[in-house]
Structures are given as C-alpha cells and as structure tokens.
Amino acid sequence: MPLLTVEELHVDLPVDAGTLHAVRGIDFHVERGEMLCLVGESGCGKSMTSMALMGLLPRRARVSAASLRFDGIELLDLTERARSDLRGARMAMIFQEPMTALNPAYTLGNQLCEALLRHRRVSRREARERAIYLLERVGISAAAERMAQYPHQLSGGLRQRVMIAMALMCEPDLIIADEPTTALDVTIQAQILRLLRDLQREFGTAVIFITHDLGVVARIADRVAVMYAGEVIETASAEALFAAPGHPYTQGLLNCIPAPGKTPPGSRLQAIPGVVPSLVGELEGCAFRNRCPLAEAICETPPPATHVGAGHVARCHFAARLADPARPPQPEVMP
Amino acid sequence: MTLAIEATQTPPAEAAQPFALELRGLSRTFTLGGGLLRRGRTLHAVSEVSLRVPRGQVMGLVGESGCGKSTLAKMLLGLTSPTAGEVLIDGRPIVGTAQKALARHVQPIFQDPYSSLNPRQRVAQIVGLPLRIHGIGSPREQAARVAEMLDLVGLPGRAARQYPGQLSGGQRQRVAIARALIMRPALVICDEPTSALDVSVQAQILNLLLDLKEAFGLTYLFISHDLAVIEHLADRLAVMYLGRIIEEGTREQIFSAPRHPYTRALLASALTPEPGLGVPDIGLGSVQPDPSAPPPGCAFHPRCPLAEPGCSQQRPLLNDTGGDGRVACHLA
C-alpha cells in the first residue's frame, strides 16, 4: 500500500472574476521511502497541492477529493486538531525561503525542539540531544553552540540545513519540500540536494520534492509527476520521463533547456509558444492544446490517461506515439 | 534573422577597434557600521577588476551571491562610482560623463520584470520614456519608434495601450528589453534577465536576446547563475569570487578545461537534466564566505579541496594562462 494516495484532488479559490480552479482533479501516489518530484511552471498548482496535503491552505480555499489517504488515514475526515497532530510529527515541510519559515525571535534550539516536545513524550534534554545530533548530521559544525543562535546569524545555506534538521526531528514518514534550493547558489544547492537525498535514503523518509528545475528532477527523483494548468499530465520514473516523454508539454520543457554538447551554442532554443490558459472558469479538453505542436480536433475532448510503459502514464491523445522510442516524434520547431 | 554563431569568432580587424567595454583595475569599497567616533569595517565589494569585452560579443559573468557581480554592473551603468580604477565604453572613460549621456551607450535589463516597470504607466509610455527624456523626435516619430520596437521584441500592437499588470512575466521582460534598446545602446548589461521566468518562457527570451544582438550588433555583459544559459550564450566568461575575477577565458576554454578549483566546483554543481548521474559531491565544505571578512591569501582557500599551506599566505595574481585566458590560483 502506498504511503500517500491522492485521488481526484480539487482545490478551488474564489477570486473577483469567479472561481480559480488551481488544482483540477489530480491523481498520484507516493510510495514509502521514495523521492517523488512534482514539477511544473508557476501557477500549475504544485504548491497548492502540497498545501492541500499539509492542510495549510488559506481559509477561503475549497478542497475536495475522492480520497486523500495517508498511511490508511483519510485526511479530509480528520478534525483540524487531528490534522495538526500529524503535521510536524508524521508529515513535515521544508519551504523555499528558510528566513521566512524560521521564527526570527526564537533560538534555533528552541525551534528545533518545539515539534518533538509537542508530539512526543520526551524530556527537554532528550529533545536537545536529538537536535544537536541532527544539526551535526546536516553538516553544521559547533552544533551545540549553534543551538543558542538566532536565524539571522546564519547564511542561507545553513538556514536551509537547519530546516532539514527540523523536518527530521520527529522522524516523519513524509517530507514535502517546496522548492527548497531555489533561493540558493548553485554550489550550495548541490550540497543541500545531496544532503537531503542521503538523509532521505538513510531514514527511509518519503519526500515530495516540488520544483520547476528539470536538472534537479533528473538528479534526485525516483519518480516524477509533471503538472500543467492544475492537472498532472504525466507520471513516470525519472529515467523513462527523460528518455521518452509521453506528453508534448514534457517534451517541450526538455527541449527548452540548452543541453551542453547537444544544443550548439548561440543557436535558437526550442520554445513553447503562447502562455498558460487562465484557470478561472471551466477548461474543456486538453489544457495544453493551444500551445501544442501536435494539436488536432480530437484534443478538444479530454485526453485519456494512457499507459505508455510500466508506471508511465501520460494524459495525451497521442501519448502512445510520443513515448515510443523507436519512432521519436519530431514536432515542428516553433519560431 | 540568422544564427549568432559567426559572432563567436572575432574577426582580426576588430583588434584595432576599441573594446566595447574595458575595465581597468576597477574597485569599489563600502564602509559598514561606522559611527561618529568609530570607524566601520571596509567591505571590498569589487577589487581590481580588469576586463575587456570586444564589440559584438557576449561576456558571461558568474559567481555566487555576494561576489560583487551586481556592484560591478552598477558601476558600468554609472549608478555607483568606483573607488578606484576606470570604466571605458567604446574606448572613452565614463568618468565625468553625465548620467543622461551615458544612458545612450549602456542600458540594463534586470531580473525582475515585475518590479522594474512602473505599474501606473502604459507600455507605450514606459518604452517611449527614454525618447522623451532625451528629446528625440516629434511625438509622432516617438510613437512610430515605440511601435517598431514593440514589434521587434515580439509584442502585439495592442500591448502598447496595456499596463504591466495586464501582461505575463515573459511579456513584461519583452517590454523591459524594448525600453533598454530604444536608445540603440551599444552595450547592454543583462543582470539575470531570465531567472524569474518559467523555463518555457526563458527560451523565448534567450532567443530574442540573441536575435536582437545580431540585428543591432549589441555587446552584452550577461550576469547569470545558470551555467547552461551562460554556456549557450557567452563567447567569453569571467568567474568572480569575493570581489575578484579568479578566472577568465573563452567559453570553450572554461567549459572544457577549467583551471581554477572554484570554477571546477561551479561547473560540477550545474545539474544538467541527465538522470542516473545523481547529485555530484563538489568537495566544498559547508562554510560560506563572508564578503566583509575575506580570508587572507587566496580568498577561496578555506573551501578549496586542493589548498596547500601557501594558499593562506599569499594572494594569487590573475596571470595569463598562455592561451587566451587568465587564472588566479597558485596551483593552476
């Protein structure tokens, strides 16, 4: 049984112009101990999905789902109190900007121990020992002295290490990491990703890693779910997704990034023309069809979830043709 | 429009021409936390930077946050004055050049198209403002030039009457590009111009920047943390570390045979979309440098996997590598 199963998740937000359908009926699951990357561009609903899982959506948001099952528990049936008991204890979150996620008025030690003292029957001393142990594990030197420091005394990279230690305090089953390295320099990013990957394997924690960076996805993901306009349009293992994408959007995204050795320097990059459709009001058919080089009349009908390989599903009328490595499709190069 | 590949080879005739941009020993210091009676600490944001960019080329500038890239860009735009050294644009020093006159030669494109455009002005006003300030042409001519510029950057005609708030991120960056180029500057300082954009839009903007460079014979100083973008665009590349250039050379040299251990770590940390490779161990410790208290000797030595005792004693000079490049490392 997967650790987390999401079926038909919807998140709606009332806006001036009507209702914004931020997440439009998505299905995915997370196995125990795996790294699932949720990838997509801004506004695709990836952060809204994570907030819905954590129960941290703004009050005005409306969530519905056929099932949102975490280790056999239906999350949407829980009281707010019970949800809050899960948060921090069994599901933890790492945010993009550790400076805003950490409380500037409390010491690191205070914040690290807080969740453990709240959720587990431990003494202050035990909590402190675990905090120091984890600070050392995330590569922070002089951990005992750091416990008395405040967030502003740390660099961005160190703060993100503290966030990771904090997320691990209660040994959660699931960590949701929302763009945790986007604000960091590339050298620090590589170090933090390596650390997160190593600890995730060692502790057997499942991670939903939210990112827009396909380079990061390729290097850390076990499986990938690609989101576009509030829908999951493709799920696959990392290898399958990069070798034979089954959706023209995924393929377009991969073509957009200059690939050293493949893209001649200074040559034109393939771009995806046009913009994401508005998510206010209803969308009919395939949401990508107005930007898609393969679009035909049939794309005005909802695309079926097509199995194109083991554990590889793409929502496209042409998915089978696209993902066939024997016949690599050659969509027109858009000017 | 043609590809920009031929521009990567510098014709020999260009050697006689002045460089589009030349920096000679450029430095800038800031004083931190000084008071009436107390002397503050000195922060060396940029130290003795010398750099030459031939006309029509793209010079990539990379380095971590706090390495002085943005201070350098501000000095080139005349927004901050250097503490020492000089900036020459087309062979002429910019010292003493009025800000208004300088603006005709060098223009910036910034990272965030959300904060760099006035939300209360229509696109036509934003793009036409430089023409009005400099009193170029009649209102009718100005309007025609704005329309032409908007067309060149790929915006529909109706965009002229819209406000920035009505445009997407990519469209706003096109407006910023139109505004930068309407005075036909020779040099454009691109400070992370695609970092705030989505991947699919980033490719559109990079294509546009390449097309415009070709069409107007522009020279770019291109600041970015995205090494894939730099490798795609830049003819030459300068790597900065704590205010100094530590390596400089052609794209081929730096990407195929980096000499400085920091450059190597930087290149190793670029995550290309190749599954199965995992996240590389780049061998730098968890210590991040403090620009206000740079380590003695080679500023990189506390993080350097190859550091020897001598590295903390003496600062390495930026020496010629023999080829067409320079590196500052005792061990290179």
pLDDT tens for chain A, residues 1 to 335: 899 999 999 999 999 989 999 999 999 999 999 999 999 988 899 999 999 999 999 999 999 999 999 999 999 999 999 999 999 899 999 988 877 889 999 999 999 999 899 999 999 999 999 999 999 988 888 899 999 999 998 888 889 999 999 999 999 999 999 999 887 888 889 988 999 999 999 999 999 999 999 999 999 999 999 999 999 999 999 999 999 999 999 999 999 888 877 888 888 888 888 888 889 988 889 999 999 999 999 999 999 999 999 999 999 999 988 876 555 545 444 44
Q: Are B29 and B42 in contact (CB under 8 A)?
A: yes
Whether residue B295 is contained in a domain is answered as: no
What are the structure tokens assigned to B48, written together?
Answer: 């003795």
pLDDT of residue A325: 56
Does residue B116 form part of some domain? yes
Reduced to 3 states (helix: H, G, I; strand: E, B; else coil), residue A164 is helix
Optimal mutation site among B1, B171, B195, B200, interface A, most CBs of chain A within 10 A = B200
Query: B217 and B100: one domain?
Result: yes
Q: Residue B278's pLDDT is what?
A: 92
Higher pLDDT, B98 or A125: A125
Q: Copy the structure tokens of residue B134.
A: 């400099």
Per-residue pLDDT at A183: 79
> Does position B13 have pLDDT exceeding 60, yes or no?
no
SS3 A205: coil
- Domain termination residue (choose one: B155, B184, B213): B184
What DSSP designation does B123 have? H
Distance CA A9, CA A45 (A): 11
Query: Which residue of chain A comes nearest to B155, CA vs CA?
Result: A274
Place of tokens 């699919």: B200
> From its phi and psi, is residue A23 left (phi > 0), alpha (psi between -120 and 50) or beta?
beta
Q: What is the share, in percent, of chain B residues with pLDDT greater than 70?
A: 94
What is the spatial distance between Cα B114 and Cα B128, in angstroms, rounded to a whole number? 18
| pLDDT > 60? residue B5 | no
Q: Is residue B250 part of a domain?
A: yes
Same domain, B160 and B246: no
C-alpha A286/C-alpha A263 separation (Å) is 30
Shared domain for B122 and B265, answered yes or no, is no
**Minimum Cα–Cα distance from A213: chain B residue:** B199
Do the beta carbons of residue B55 and residue B14 sit within 8 Å?
Answer: yes
Going by C-alpha positions, the residue among A253, A183, A174 that lies closest to residue A217 is: A253
Domain membership of residue B10 (yes or no) is: no
Judge if B93 and B196 occupy the same domain: yes
ipTM: 0.82
The beta strands (E) that lie in A80-179 are given as: 91-94, 174-178
User: A94: closest CA among A40, A161, A150?
Assistant: A161
Q: Chain A closest CA to B231's CA: distance in Å?
A: 7
pLDDT value at residue B38: 74
| H helix or E strand, kind and range, residue B23 | strand B21-32
What residue numbers bound the domain in which B160 lies?
112-184
Distance from C-alpha of A160 to C-alpha of A162, rounded to nearest angstrom: 5
Residue B4 has pLDDT above 50, yes or no: no
Residue A144 C-alpha from the chain's centroid: 32
Look at residue B75 and tell me if it is in a domain. yes
Check residue B15 and report its DSSP letter.
G
Residue written as token pair 């941290």 = A56
Cβ pair B254, B296 in contact under 8 A: no
Position B148 scores a pLDDT of 94
Residue B317 lies in a domain: no
* pLDDT score at A334: 42
Instruction: Looking at the structure, tell me whether residues B98 and B193 fall in a common domain.
Output: yes
pLDDT at site B2: 42
Same domain, B211 and B65: yes
A208/A197 Cα distance (integer angstroms): 12
Check if the beta carbon of residue A133 is closer than 8 Å to that of residue A155: no
Which of left, alpha, beta for B326 (phi over 0: left; psi -120 to 50: alpha)?
beta
Distance CA A73, CA A71 (A): 6
Distance CA A45, CA B172 (A): 22
Q: In Å, how far is A57's CA from the nearest CA of chain B? A: 24
**B203 and A41 in contact by Cβ < 8 A?**
no
pLDDT value for B1? 41
Q: Which helix (H) or strand (E) holds A10?
A: strand A4-15
Query: Looking at beta carbons, which residues of chain B come within 8 Å of A190?
Result: 268-269, 271, 279-280, 282
**Are B21 and B163 in the same domain?**
no
| Whole-angstrom distance, CA of residue A138 vs CA of residue A141 | 9
- Which CATH number is B64's domain given? 3.40.50.300
Q: Using an 8 Å CB-CB cutoff, list chain A residues near B281.
A: 194
> If 0-12 CB within 10 Å is exposed, 13-18 middle and 19+ buried, where does residue A37 land?
buried
What phi, psi does A240 have (nearest 5°)? -65, -40
Contact indicator for A67, A5 with CB cutoff of 8 Å: yes
pLDDT at A326: 59
Mean pLDDT of B156-181: 92
User: Do B261 and B195 fall into the same domain?
Assistant: yes
**Dist CA B65 CA B242 (whole Å):** 9
| In the block, residue with structure tokens 């058919």 | A285
B232, B253: one domain = yes
- Which DSSP letter does residue A215 get? H
Mean pLDDT of chain B: 89
Output the pLDDT for position B323.
82
Of B205 and A259, the one with more pLDDT = B205
Assigned token pair, A128:
């402190």
Question: Do residues B135 and B282 share a domain?
Answer: no
Structural domain contains residue B134: yes
Contact A182, A213 (CB under 8 A): yes
* Least trusted range by pLDDT, from A171-180, B33-42, B258-267: B33-42
pLDDT band of B286, cuts 50, 70, 90? low
How far apart, in whole angstroms, are the C-alpha atoms of residue B62 and residue B209?
A: 18
Q: Two tokens at B178?
A: 């139109």
Residue A90, class by beta-carbon neighbours within 10 Å (0-12 exposed, 13-18 middle, 19+ buried)? middle
Residues 6+ apart with CB under 8 A from A330: none
Does B34 reach chain A within 8 Å, measured CB to CB? no
Closest by CA to A26, choosing from A1, A2, A52, is A52
Number of domains within chain B: 2
H helix runs in B182-289, sequence order: 199-216, 227-233, 251-256, 261-268
Is pLDDT of B287 > 80?
Answer: no
Asked if residue B251 and residue B228 are part of one domain, the reply reads: yes
Distance (Å, whole) CA A63 – CA A304: 24
Angle at A118 between CA A115 and CA A120, to 5 degrees: 95
Number of A/B CB contacts below 8 angstroms equals 146
B:152-191 residues touching chain A, CB 8 A cutoff: 168-170
| Global confidence as pTM | 0.87
Residue B229 has a pLDDT of: 92
Sequence letter at residue B106: V
Q: Is the pLDDT of residue B9 over 80?
A: no
Close Cβ partners of A326 (under 8 Å, ≥ 6 residues apart): none
Q: Identify whether the C-beta of residue B196 lies closer than 8 Å to the C-beta of residue B205.
A: no
Closest to B280 in 3D by CA, of B292, B271, B289: B271
Question: Quick check: is B2 in a domain?
Answer: no
Q: Which residue has the tokens 């990508």?
A: A288
Please judge whether B65 and A185 are an interchain contact, meaning their C-beta atoms are less than 8 angstroms apart.
yes
> What is the number of alpha carbons within 13 Å of residue A276 lying toward its C-beta?
23
Contact across the interface for B65 and A190, Cβ inside 8 Å: no
Digit-coded pLDDT (tens) for B214-252: 999 999 999 998 899 999 999 999 999 999 999 999 999
A263 and B276: CB-CB below 8 Å?
Answer: no
Q: Count of alpha carbons within 13 Å of A9, Cβ hemisphere only?
A: 29
Which residues have CB under 8 Å from A211's CB, separation 6+?
A: A37, A38, A39, A179, A182, A217
Q: Report the distance separating Cα A205 and Cα A173, nearest Å.
A: 5
**pLDDT given for residue B74 in this prediction:** 92
On whether both B195 and B285 belong to a single domain, the answer is: yes
What's B137's DSSP letter? Answer: S
